[in-house]
Amino acid sequence: MRMDGQIRVRTANRHADLYVELRNLAVGDQHELFFICACLGYQRKCSRPLSAQAGERFWSRTITPEEWTCYYAMVLEENAMNFESIQDDEKVIARIEEYAYGGLEVLIQEFLCDFLARGNGPPRLDSSHEVTRELPKLLLGFVWQISQPLESAKT
């Protein structure tokens, strides 16, 4: 639990183009998209294991202390607050990579699908889509909407 900055953070190869395309369009850097996706995957209990051929996307030194804190909290919660579960940052990141993979799949299905080019290849943004320039604002609205408690939970 040192917030190790020397870990190469991996993502699914099929998402490589989206990480590049959304950088500086909807998020400032790749770790920010990774964070959004990890939180979404965690919230939806949707994690997917990465293959051995997963691509290295960025260094963990770009992860902010606030993001690390959330990652530690996620791993602690799913391990019944066992602090041993967060002693190895590589294992923490490996688990969060699974949440980020699942979360990006949810993001694609529930939000990005309207902005993607049609075809059989990996998901890519459709640059001809008129609303693409509105993507940052729309993504913020989507994240805000999914972060709200359910109506039944308010009572």
Q: Report the DSSP beta bridge partners of residue 27.
A: 23
d(CA 145, CA 148): 6
Q: Report the DSSP beta bridge partners of residue 8.
A: 59
**Cβ–Cβ under 8 Å, residues 47 and 41:** yes
Percent share of the chain, pLDDT over 70: 95
The arithmetic mean of pLDDT across residues 90-111, rounded, is 97
**Would you state the structure tokens that stand for residue 151, as one six-digit string?**
């109506």
Q: What pLDDT is recorded for position 151? A: 61
C-alpha distances (whole Å) from 118 to each of 106, 108, 128, 129 are: 18, 13, 12, 11
Quick check: 133 pLDDT over 70?
yes
**Cβ–Cβ under 8 Å, residues 146 and 46:** no
Report how far Cα 145 is from the mean position of its chain's Cα atoms: 17
The rounded mean pLDDT for the chain is 91
DSSP 46-115: ---PPPTTPEEEEEGGGS-HHHHHHHHHHHHHHTTT-GGGGS-HHHHHHHHHHHHHHHHHHHHHHTGGGG
Confidence of residue 52 (pLDDT cuts 50, 70, 90): confident
d(CA 75, CA 152): 27
Confidence of residue 150 (pLDDT cuts 50, 70, 90): low
